[in-house]
Amino acid sequence: MTASEIRNSFIEFFKNKGHTFVPSESLLPSSPNLLFTNAGMNQFVPYFLGARTPAYSRAVNSQKCIRAGGKHNDLEDVGFDTYHHTFFEMLGNWSFGDYFKKEAIEWAWELLTKVWGFPKERLYVTVYKPSPGDPDKFDQEAYDIWKNILKKENVDPNVHIVNGNRKDNFWMMGDTGPCGPCTEIHIDLTEKGDTKGSLVNMSSPYCIEIWNLVFIQFNAETDGTFKPLTNKHVDTGMGFERVAGIIATTKNFTDFSGIPSNYNSDLFTDIFAKLEKLSGHMYRKTMPSSLDNMSKQERIDCSFRVLADHIRTLCFSIADGILPGNEGRNYVLRRILRRAILWGQHLELPEGFFAELIDCVINKMSGFFPELKTQRTLIHKVIESEEKSFERTLDRGLQLLDKIAAKNKTISGQDAFTLYDTYGFPIDLTQLIAKEKHLNLDIDGFNKAMEEQREKARSAQKKSVITVSEEKDQKPATQFVGFDAANLVDYETIITKIINTQGKTYLVFDKTPFYATMGGQIGDQGILYLDAETKLKIIDTIKDEFGHILHQLENTIDESLMGKKVKISVYENRRRQIQRNHTATHLLHWALREHLGTHVKQAGSLVDDKKLRFDFSHYQALTHKQLEDIEYDVNQAILKNSPVRWYEVPFKDKPENCIAFFGEKYGSIVRIVDIGGFSLELCGGTHVQATGEIGLLKIISETAIAAGTRRIEAVVGQEALNLLQSQSHSLYRISNALSCKPNEIETRIETLLEQKAEHEKELRKLQQKHLASLEEDILKLAQPYDNLQWLITETNIPNINDLRGLAVNLSNKLGPSVIIFISSIEDKILTLVLCSQEAIKKGYHAGNIVSDLSIQLGGKGGGKPDFAMGGAKNSGQVTEVLKGFKPYLQKV
Ligand code: SER
């Protein structure tokens, strides 16, 4: 059976038992506390918890999973063994409050032994046996079901049922969530198949787990307790690559002499073939006997496995919109990609090799996962650009490591940090190399350097931390009333706190329309009216960690004013301009996703009253046309003058299409901002009432701020108008200077450039002519000395190439000679010396002459025996130096 036949057979088997086929969910998890979708059960969690009712009570699927980072992390094992992957498929059958242990176990046995032909005497099953303090009790029910089946099949239950501990037989998705005891099926792959269960759970490639049947009965709560669920469910997970590998290695269970490996299945054949072609090395299926001391072939074979695994992870995650980046799951991907590039070094692969593997994955897998084909271009672009950007620094980083290795036995924390910060080496990559080179790594020193950098970044982020925390219990968070435009001016409130700290004065009011700096939007400024005569300026607004809004005053005030009733006004125009920028940021985000794809994700933003800045994930610079189109679409949305709405809902009820990225911190109640039906985002900021208020958006720049992260800056409203007016003013002045109309400027400049090129050509011709006549004149200055022709002269040729050309021509004409030119060009002096072979034989040395001359001229220079150059500042000493030159000649 091929891998694809195995997958189909699994799905068909369970469909025939009343299961509905459910497609794989995205690798971007639906669960907020996961890095990646890491198990088939992730998408079904709400069904297990009873939060949603499924349309079916039995399901079958093949789920894309990544286990790298987080609770289930297999990254470090990949390559070194034959059965761990960062990306893999998990085949599963599911019961949502329907059948339970009996059916699940009986069907598993039936599929494996009756349909696929697994030899029953090679199968071992485990059942849960807790230790004191572990959840739940011995799984007698599963034990009895297995005992019954095995007895009927003449397989000894006393040998083939093995007890398993909490680690192996109590399955949890993460620290919290649905969980329960499980029974696992393992296969003995030794040649004789007579290990009698001794290798079960011993991390041996000769006895591996192929199927995990989990009986979901509890929810692990945050306080560490296990709450029984109302209904009981079945969640099974079969390692697709493992089963495909076993069937391929044993040639449908007919030959157990080979080393079992997932990589023997046809899932990897094309990738290996491509790697063999690219590298000229053969994959020989060896396994490292010791990780510290691998043979060349073992290292080559590890590289094959690492690359084959990692390219699949990258292709599948990019297809699901998860791109390599600097944080969280995106950084995990970048590390995986860089790990692959590094392993590629063992195969001496050419630059750009990793991207060459993409099509092998797409062609093999897109029949079942069509998203790979749809996203082919994106996958190529992202991997190519990531690979290129890492290759640029990889060699230099490796050289640095070699230098360290030549001197020390330990990579210091600071060096590891430089490798990380300057050369983009994730720390686990440095660890990997350190291990290979038998070096120690000062990981504590590295962590310290990282912490120092974070500290620097934190203190560079201006705000000093001001808090009214001691008041936390008495004074709840300040109520913000500034979403309503009617509250912005002359708002009556009470001073509840005056804080004098670090030379600054902050006021807290019981309610305020002043927006505090948050989510990229800067804080409001305005006026405080103490009474009819006394006005004070509020120059900034910030929030402390307990939600108190702090208003910074320009001047200090008397503490006796505590409790006073006052009026406060936000600078309305400034606030309006900030709001325009904020709403425009949402529209820009929307248009970027429309034009570039949904992988575009906000990576930071700043909106103030002057401009907006929006950082986002994207793998390459935007073209001028793309920027124009994006700007055009945002302005179309502005012209529509569509209403902007905001409302609050519980997080779980937020609309499906609302942009919210897991990993961000959201409370249980979230605020949804709907920009005229164009964009729907979770946001706590203030916005215009209708898009038309923005007036106009003009993009000023698009730049890279890190690998895979771009930045757009733009202006809106009055600032956009100012910009356009100043640009049109420049055009007006240019057209005046060029004596043409503004719309003729382009043609006029083209003509001027053509004329300029013509003039330069003419000038060059004249210069050549001048040089030719100069050559004749200079030649006459040659004097014989020591059987050589000596040409020592001052020139004023400004072009270094011309000077060199002239010297070479003269030397050809003079034959055995020494030519010494000193050219004064404005404030500089250029010295050039040419010695013919005959001169060199006599002991003259162009480099030495230049160096001696340069010292006399107060500059420096030198070079080879036949040709040398030097430079100095021109302080009028050339003639003097040349005058004293004859005696110098005698000295040479
Ligand atoms: N949830 C179990 C696992 O991931 C079985 O699907 O192993």
The pLDDT tens digits of the residues spanning 516-567 come to 999 899 999 999 999 888 999 999 999 887 788 999 999 888 888 999 999 9
Give the integer Cα–Cα distance in Å for 664 and 457.
20
Measure 182 CA to ligand 1 centroid, in angstroms.
9
Instruction: Say how many Å lie between the CA of residue 39 and the centre of ligand 1.
Output: 6
C-alpha of residue 240 to centroid of ligand 1, in Å:
12
Locate the ligand 1 atom nearest the alpha carbon of residue 214 and give its number. 5
Cα gap 198→461, rounded to integer Å = 58
pLDDT score, position 572: 96
Distance 674 CA to ligand 1 centre (A): 39
pLDDT (tens digit per residue) in 74-103? 787 888 889 899 999 999 999 999 999 999
Q: Is the CB of 178 under 6 A from ligand 1?
A: no
The mean pLDDT value for 595-608 works out to 90
CB of 235 within 6 A of ligand 1: the answer is yes
Closest among 361, 29, 88 to 238, alpha carbons compared:
88
Give the distance, in angstroms, between the CA of residue 429 and the centroid of all CA atoms in the same chain.
Answer: 16
Confirm or reject: Cβ of 92 under 6 Å from ligand 1: yes
pLDDT score at 662: 44
Amino acid at 704: A
Residue 710 confidence (pLDDT) above 50: yes
| Per-residue pLDDT, 889 | 56
CA 213 to ligand 1: nearest atom: 5
CA dihedral sign of residues 205, 210, 213, 216? positive
The predicted structure's pLDDT at residue 469:
44
Q: According to the model, what pLDDT value does residue 542 have?
A: 94
What is the reported pLDDT for 810? 94
pLDDT at 827 over 70: yes
CA diameter of the chain:
115
What's the whole-number mean pLDDT along residues 357-366? 98
Confidence grade of residue 573 (pLDDT, cut at 50, 70, 90) = very high
Q: Does the predicted TM-score (pTM) go above 0.85?
A: no
Instruction: Identify the residue whose C-alpha is closest to ligand 1 atom 4.
Output: 39
Q: Across residues 499-519, what is the average pLDDT?
A: 92
> Residue 296: what pLDDT?
92
The Cα–Cα gap between 546 and 497 comes to: 14
**171 close to ligand 1 (CB < 6 Angstrom):** yes
Asked if residue 471 has pLDDT above 80, the reply is no
**pLDDT at 49 (0 to 100):** 83
Q: Which residues, 6+ apart, have CB-to-CB distance to 201 below 8 Å?
A: 126, 162, 164, 168, 186, 209
Residue closest via CA to ligand 1's atom 6 equals 237
- Residue length of the chain: 892
First vs last Cα of the chain: how many Å apart? 87
Query: What pLDDT score was predicted for residue 694?
Result: 98
Range of lowest pLDDT (532-536, 608-612, 795-799, 859-863): 795-799
| CB proximity list for 19: less than 8 A, separation 6 or greater | 56, 58, 59, 60, 93, 94
Nearest atom in ligand 1 to 90's CA? 6
Yes or no: say if 602 and 616 are a contact pair by the CB < 8 Å rule: yes
Mean pLDDT for the stretch of residues 311-333? 90
Q: Is the dihedral of CA 842, 848, 849, 850 positive or negative?
A: positive
- What's the pLDDT at 293? 78
pLDDT digits (tens, 9 = 90+) for 39-74: 999 889 888 888 778 889 999 999 999 998 766 677
Distance 315 CA to ligand 1 centre (A): 23
Determine the distance separating the centroid of ligand 1 and the alpha carbon of 121, expressed in angstroms.
Answer: 24
Residue 44 Cβ contacting ligand 1 at under 6 Å: no
Question: What confidence tier does 607 reach under pLDDT thresholds 50, 70, 90?
Answer: very high
Q: Which pLDDT score, from 0 to 100, does residue 98 have?
A: 97
- Cβ(201) to ligand 1 under 6 A? no
375 lines ligand 1 (CB under 6 A): no
Residue 890's pLDDT band (boundaries 50, 70, 90)?
A: very low
What ligand 1 atom has the least distance to the C-alpha of 39? 4
Cα–ligand 1 centroid distance for 480 (angstroms) = 46
pLDDT at 663: 40
- Other CB atoms closer than 10 Å to residue 760's CB: what's the count? 10
Residues of the chain with pLDDT > 90: what percent?
66
Residue 869 Cβ < 6 Å to ligand 1: no
- Residue nearest to ligand 1 atom 7, measured at CA: 237
pLDDT at position 601 is: 84
What's the confidence (pLDDT) of residue 866? 95
Residue nearest to atom 3 of ligand 1 (CA): 237
Ligand 1 in reach of 212 Cβ (< 6 A) = yes
What pLDDT does 470 receive? 46
Q: 229: Cβ below 6 Å to ligand 1?
A: no
39 lines ligand 1 (CB under 6 A): yes
Name which of 168, 162, 136, 174 is nearest 42 in CA terms.
174
Range scoring the smallest mean pLDDT among 13-22, 353-362, 538-547:
538-547
Tokens describing residue 661: 């990225």
b/e map 109-120, b = 16+ CB within 10 Å: bebbbeebebeb
- Distance between Cα 138 and ligand 1 center (Å): 20
Distance 117 CA to ligand 1 centre (A): 23
User: Residues 645-684: pLDDT tens digits?
Assistant: 999 988 767 787 787 654 444 456 789 999 999 999 999 9
Share the mean pLDDT of the chain: 90
Burial track 736-754 (b if 16+ CB lie within 10 A, e otherwise): eeeebeeeeeeebeeeeee
Mean pLDDT value across residues 793-801: 84
pLDDT of residue 329: 87
Q: For tokens 């099926």, what's the residue?
A: 185
| pLDDT > 60? residue 467 | no
